[in-house]
Chains A and B, each alone.
Chain A
Amino acid sequence: MSAKPDTLPDMVTRMTRGTPQSSALGLRPMSAEAGVACMAVAWRADLVGDPHSGVIAGGVITTLLDQTCGMAVASLAEAENRLTGLATLDLRIDYMRGAELGREIIARAHCYKLTSSIGFVRAAAFEDDEANPIATAQATFALAPPPAPK
């Protein structure tokens, strides 16, 4: 298939940069290994969700968590040499607190189980301490079936 295999961080960077919404939010891939991905988003005035507080919108964190969860599934599928298309089936997010003003937000996602067709993922968003999360997420992703042999 691919002539030159990417490393997993390369693949995650390429997939994220190739996603218009991730570029528009300025999502920054930080690291990737099989089943684990980290990504960050910087505070920006145009991403504020409550003009009274200046806190970044929950929707930005939703997209950051969705993208990071997807990349955790993709990196595990890629490590097992069976990455096809991915679609979010279900995403649950618990918002513990508002993000601190002006600070970068990091998301770390772990795909703890990948069956033949479904990836199960947990993730958290935080400034610098995963034990003090802004939000946590639980998601399932559907992996497209492998292409039919030609």
Chain B
Amino acid sequence: MSEATENSGESLAVRLAGLLETVPYMSFLGMQAELAGDEMTGRLPFAPHLVGNPMLPALHGGVIGAFLEMTAVCQLWLLEPHRRLPRAIDVTIEYLRPGRPLAVHARANVRKVGRRIANVHVEAWQEARDLPVAFLSGHFMLSPPAADSAAP
């Protein structure tokens, strides 16, 4: 749609794919992401090691929370892909339904970006977006703008 952004959609998508490969924990989860313009949809394909309750079976609540957090981090990073990854300050995760042994999708809504801190809400669903599995709301610390490596 709009090609007027500084980073073309394609190069952002390439950078995002590179990020997902370079963060070991994202590979550990098997997280993927798709871009539509600057809006990202995180995708977590089902894998047996993500299960928390083998009797149901259901995905581990921690995995769903972590995936929501990573989706927020990636969406914020896309705003400033030259900076280092934002870090979570606090997150609240609400669990609405057990995560079934299927792929999970997540979309982040960046509510506010300040100079240092951003507020983000994330929603996760499986088969239908109007049947959410979990929500996350949280604050994230943005990395300083200078492309230096001294930042904490």
Known contacts A20-B54, A21-B60; decide if A63 and B65 are in contact (CB<8 Å): yes
- CB of B33 closer than 8 Å to a CB of A: no
> Does B102 touch A at the CB level, under 8 Å?
no
Q: How far is the CB of B143 from chain A (nearest CB, A)?
A: 9
With an 8 A cutoff between CB atoms, is A150 at the interface?
no
In contact, B51 and A66 (Cβ under 8 angstroms): no
**Chain A 68-110: CB-based contact to B (< 8 A → 1; otherwise 0):** 0010000000000000010111111111001000000000000
Which residues of chain B come closer than 8 Å to A67, judged between CB atoms? Answer: 52, 60, 62
Q: How far is the CA of A22 from the CA of B51 in the complex (A)?
A: 9
CB pair B63–A21 under 8 Å, yes or no, is: yes
| Interface size class of chain B, counting residues whose CB lies under 8 Å from the partner chain | 35 or more
Question: Number of A residues whose C-beta is below 8 Å from B?
Answer: 39
Q: B48 contacts the other chain (Cβ, under 8 Å)?
A: yes
In chain A between 27 and 75, which residues have their CB closer than 8 angstroms to a CB of chain B? 45-53, 56-60, 62-67, 70
- Is residue B93 contacting chain A, with contact meaning CB distance below 8 A? yes
* B87 on the A face (CB < 8 A): yes
Interface flag for A149 (CB, 8 Å): no
Cross-chain contact B50 with A20 (CB below 8 angstroms) = yes
Known contacts being A19-B60, A51-B23, A87-B98, is A57 close to B66, with CB within 8 Å?
A: yes
Which of B24-32, B35-43, B105-113 interfaces with chain A? B24-32
Let me know if A24 is at the binding interface, CB within 8 A. Answer: yes
A-side contacts of B24, CB under 8 Å: 45-49, 51, 57
Task: Using CB atoms, name the residue of chain A closest to B89.
Answer: A95
* Residues of the B chain whose Cβ atoms lie less than 8 Å from the Cβ of A90: 92-95
Is there a chain B Cβ closer than 8 Å to A147's Cβ?
Answer: no
User: Do residues A58 and B48 form an inter-chain contact, with CB atoms below 8 A?
Assistant: no
| Cβ-closest chain A residue relative to B135 | A90
Cross-chain contact B62 with A62 (CB below 8 angstroms) = yes
What is the interface of chain A, defined by CB distance below 8 A to chain B? 18-24, 45-53, 56-60, 62-67, 70, 85, 87-95, 98
Q: With contacts A48-B23, A60-B66, A88-B93 known, what are 15 further pairs, Cβ within 8 A?
A: A21-B60, A22-B60, A24-B50, A50-B87, A51-B23, A58-B88, A59-B29, A59-B67, A62-B69, A62-B93, A67-B60, A87-B61, A88-B61, A95-B89, A95-B90
Q: What are some 16 contacts across the A-B interface (CB < 8 A)? A: A18-B54, A19-B51, A20-B50, A21-B50, A21-B63, A22-B60, A46-B24, A56-B25, A57-B25, A59-B25, A59-B69, A66-B62, A91-B95, A92-B91, A93-B93, A95-B90
